[in-house]
Amino acid sequence: MNNKSLTLPAKGSHSSPGGARFVRRFRRFLRECWDSRLSYLFLAPFLIAFCGFILIPVLMALLLSVTSFNGFSFPTFIGVHNFIALLTQDIVFMKHTLPNTFKFALIVGPGGYALSFVFAWLIHQLPRNIRDYFTLALYAPSMAGGVALSVIWIATFSGDRVGYLNNILLKLGLIETSQLWLQDPKYLMNIMIIVTLWTSMGVGFLAMLGGLQTVNTELYEAGRIDGIKNVLQEAYYITIPSMKPQMLFSAVMAIVGTLKAGAISTQLTGLAITPSYSGHLMTNHIDDYAFLRYEWGYASAVSVVLLVISYLVMRFCYRLFAAKEGE
Amino acid sequence: MTQLPPPKLSQLSRTLELFRSFQKPLFLRLSKLKRVSISKSLLIVCFIGLAFFMLLPIIFLFNNAFKPMNELFLFPPTIWVKEPTMRNFEQLFLHAGAAVVPFTRYLFNSVFVVFLSLVVVILVSTMAGYVLSKHRFHFKGLILSMIMLSLMFAPETVAIPRYLIVSSLGITNTYLAHILPFIASPVAVFLMKQFIDQIPDALIEAAKLDGANDLYIFTRIMIPLAAPAVATISIITFQAVYLDIEGSTLYTTKETMKTIGFYVSSLTINLQNSVAGQSMAAAAALLMFIPNLIMFLLFQRKMIQTMLHSGVK
């Protein structure tokens, strides 16, 4: 009691035993914190940077999303008006951005994910000494990244007869006149999807390769005894359940990759807004409102919607791959 | 774990298999052996095709970077370069030197920024990973769950608040604007924590008994043992920073402070209608790709080794 009243005299003068216990506990908590000060010190640089460039930006986006803000004058509070406008008035969003994003995300996300698994699994079947070369070959495009490869894509999908794709297709007689691949709204989306799939064997792919090595090989023998007939059954019943943690990690990486891929339309066409919004994704929509129209409140509302969607997708992946009890 | 068979059983099955195979006539056994190797070699052949297909853009990039001007205008267009020339690189380093900002300046900026970011990110992530893995303290669970949640964080989604923060810190047009946003890397910390998790605690206990303090344990035991994870983090960070153009487009207005990624993207944006610029852009893009490639070649094995522990449970 003495100690307590020394530290907290105002509260300590008429405190019940419960309060005293609380204060004692709090003091113990502080002492423990002080004892592990070195841990906090080690963690501090990361935490500061984490707060500054991840946590606070997300919170700020949440705050800005309920304001009207043009980047110069002080933001004014307008409630959920931005979200209502997004759902009811933003024709571009409803007509182009949302369908485009769904198409793009549904193909690139799960598609790229499935491709990385299939390729990782096939590579794992190869003899150990040549695995590395194939890993390198599949991983190389994602290393080059969108910026470096857009040089190549622009030449490949160039609209005149000198364009590589046009030339090949003309020669094969599949098309009669050269197509404006990157300017034609009909094709742009599909090209974006193909190009992004090409570069989707990133960290998630490597994680799966690592995961495949962790699978206990005795399980395969046990499976054979239990009546597993072919390799596909083996992959489905043994391999995937055994590497669930890595599958989950690379699912998260696939979500990030899909989120980041929005810039590809700009890199391909050289335009901030693609022809008749054919390649317009959520991230382009945000950039459009943020850096062309300077409606930062509204842009933040869109980014909050994007964050919420990606969070939900991640929850779904966790549900799908979470390690069940007893496994 | 319940599915794990007792070792006896697997041994039994192996003997059974062996026994059965001996019952078969010799030629049947041989044919089985042959079939396996045929399917394997078929797989390898398919994979060579696939690898070639995946590498096409890279091959194309290499060839284009060495193409002389006249080969770009050839009809029909060719992928393979006939008379390789270093002219594009020369032009990049010498001709572009006469422009407002020489190419070497972008290159220097990139190298400088990447180097500093690498050092800082490795240090920060290793420190955080070590503490999160081996120490016990309050709020650890909270911090860990925040890191898990932010694994899916893509900076592109909150570009505006990040811009506001960078400008309010007053670091626009400095190298810090390129470096600071990359320091907190949840993926790096996560991988590092997972890797350190499997380093036995007994090692640290033993070192502590011998009188080592935390700093000593960290620098002399943790960093050497976590070398594969450090290599992996450097690959990931290198890629992220080196290919980044956000720092150049949003946080810097001065041309002298921008990086090579921005330069390449500015070259490609003008590329839509000019064939002539292609080879120079390809040369610049190749210079962007090569360092990444070297990094990966150096650390590939270590990276896979780290990925063994990358599972999210």
Nearest to B217 by CA among B193, B201, B230, B233: B201
Comparing A30-44, A198-212, B85-99, B170-184, the range with the smallest average pLDDT is: B85-99
SS3 of B206-244: HHHHCCCCHHHHHHHHHHHHCHHHHHHHHHHHHHHHHCC
Residue A119 contacts B where some CB pair is shorter than 8 Å: yes
> Left, alpha or beta for A5 (phi > 0: left; psi -120 to 50: alpha)?
alpha
Instruction: State yes or no: pLDDT of A255 exceeds 80.
Output: yes
CA distances from A272 to A113, A275, A305, B271 (A): 28, 10, 21, 15
Q: At B228, give phi and psi (nearest 5°).
A: -60, -40
Superfamily of segment(s) B87-307: MetI-like (1.10.3720.10)
Could you give the count of Cα atoms lying within 13 Å of A102 in the half-sphere of its Cβ?
A: 6
CB contact under 8 A, A149 and B5: no
Which single residue is written with the structure tokens 């063994």?
A: B308
For strands A67-68 and A76-77, give the pairing.
antiparallel
CB contact under 8 A, A270 and B268: yes
Q: Residue A214 is encoded by which pair of tokens?
A: 């962790």
By CA distance, what is A127's nearest residue in B? B40
CB contact under 8 A, B40 and A245: no
Q: Residue B167 is encoded by which pair of tokens?
A: 């400008």
CB contact under 8 A, A167 and B77: yes
pTM, two decimals, is: 0.84
Residue A156 contacts B where some CB pair is shorter than 8 Å: yes
On whether the CB atoms of residues B302 and B227 are closer than 8 A, the answer is yes
On whether the CB atoms of residues A237 and A219 are closer than 8 A, the answer is no
By CA distance, what is A287's nearest residue in B? B159
Please report the pLDDT score of residue B273 as a whole number: 63
On whether the CB atoms of residues A107 and A193 are closer than 8 A, the answer is yes
Please report the pLDDT score of residue B17 as a whole number: 54
Please report the pLDDT score of residue A8 as a whole number: 44
Q: Residue B161 is encoded by which pair of tokens?
A: 């608040």
Position with higher pLDDT, A109 vs B10: A109
CB contact under 8 A, B55 and A137: yes
Q: Domain locations in chain A?
A: 83-321
> Left, alpha or beta for A145 (phi > 0: left; psi -120 to 50: alpha)?
left
Task: Please write the tens of the pLDDT for every residue from A19-77.
Answer: 888 899 989 888 888 888 888 888 999 999 999 999 999 999 998 889 888 877 888 88
The neighbouring-strand residues paired with A68 are: A76
Distance CA A236, CA A219 (A): 13
Please report the pLDDT score of residue B99 as a whole number: 66
How close is the nearest chain A Cα to the Cα of B49, in Å? 11
Instruction: State yes or no: pLDDT of A99 exceeds 60.
Output: yes
Mean pLDDT, chain A, rounded, equals 83
User: Which ranges in chain A belong to alpha helices (H)?
Assistant: 2-7, 9-12, 17-35, 37-50, 56-64, 81-88, 91-92, 98-125, 128-156, 164-172, 185-198, 203-214, 217-225, 231-234, 240-242, 244-260, 264-269, 282-287, 296-321
On whether the CB atoms of residues B181 and B153 are closer than 8 A, the answer is no
Task: Please write the tens of the pLDDT for every residue from B114-144.
Answer: 999 999 999 999 999 999 998 888 888 999 9
The neighbouring-strand residues paired with A67 are: A77
Q: Beta-carbon neighbour count of residue B140 at 10 Å?
A: 15
Which single residue is written with the structure tokens 């596909």?
A: A232
Distance CA A306, CA B157 (A): 7
Mean pLDDT of B3-10: 46
By CA distance, what is B73's nearest residue in A? A162
Which single residue is written with the structure tokens 């070649």?
A: B297
Please report the pLDDT score of residue A91 as a whole number: 86
Task: Please write the tens of the pLDDT for every residue from B58-106.
Answer: 888 888 888 887 777 777 777 788 888 888 888 777 766 566 778 888 8
CB contacts of A171 in chain B (<8 Å) are: 76
Q: Residue A46 is encoded by which pair of tokens?
A: 């990361």
Distance CA A60, CA A300 (A): 9
On whether the CB atoms of residues A23 and A9 are closer than 8 A, the answer is no
Please report the pLDDT score of residue A1 as a whole number: 40
B9: pLDDT confidence band, cut at 50, 70 and 90?
A: very low
Nearest to B40 by CA among A115, A130, A118: A130
How close is the nearest chain B Cα to the Cα of A308, in Å? 11
Q: Residue A224 is encoded by which pair of tokens?
A: 């054979």
Distance CA B174, CA A13 (A): 55
Give the single-character DSSP code of B154: -
Listed in sequence order, the residues at least 6 apart from A7 whose beta carbon sits closer than 8 Å to its beta carbon are A23, A27
Mean pLDDT of A180-192: 84
Nearest to A198 by CA among A251, A164, A134, A153: A153
Q: At B115, give phi and psi (nearest 5°).
A: -60, -50
Size of interface A-B (CB pairs under 8 A): 325
| Alpha carbon of residue A74 to chain centroid | 32
Residue B76 contacts A where some CB pair is shorter than 8 Å: yes
Distance CA B134, CA A273 (A): 49
Instruction: State yes or no: pLDDT of B2 exceeds 70.
Output: no
Residue B211 contacts A where some CB pair is shorter than 8 Å: no
CB contacts of A273 in chain B (<8 Å) are: none
DSSP string over A61-99: HHHHTTEE--SSSPPEE-TTHHHHHHHHT-HHIIIIIHH
How close is the nearest chain A Cα to the Cα of B17, in Å? 11
Q: Residue B233 is encoded by which pair of tokens?
A: 């983090």
A7: pLDDT confidence band, cut at 50, 70 and 90?
A: very low
B272: pLDDT confidence band, cut at 50, 70 and 90?
A: low
Q: Is A171 exposed, middle or buried (0-12, 13-18, 19+ CB in 10 A)?
A: exposed
A179: pLDDT confidence band, cut at 50, 70 and 90?
A: confident
Please report the pLDDT score of residue A185 as a whole number: 83
CA distances from A108 to A255, A276, A279, B254 (A): 9, 22, 14, 36
In CATH terms, the fold of domain A83-321 is MetI-like fold (1.10.3720)
Please report the pLDDT score of residue A12 as a whole number: 44
CB contacts of A43 in chain B (<8 Å) are: 127-128, 131-132, 143
Give the single-character DSSP code of A291: I
CB contacts of A135 in chain B (<8 Å) are: 300, 304
Distance CA A264, CA B82 (A): 31
On whether the CB atoms of residues B192 and B144 are closer than 8 A, the answer is no
Distance CA B85, CA B89 (A): 9
Nearest to B204 by CA among B133, B141, B138: B133
Burial B227-258 (b: 16+ CB within 10 A, else e): ebbbbbbbbbbbbbbbbbbbbbbbbbeeeebb
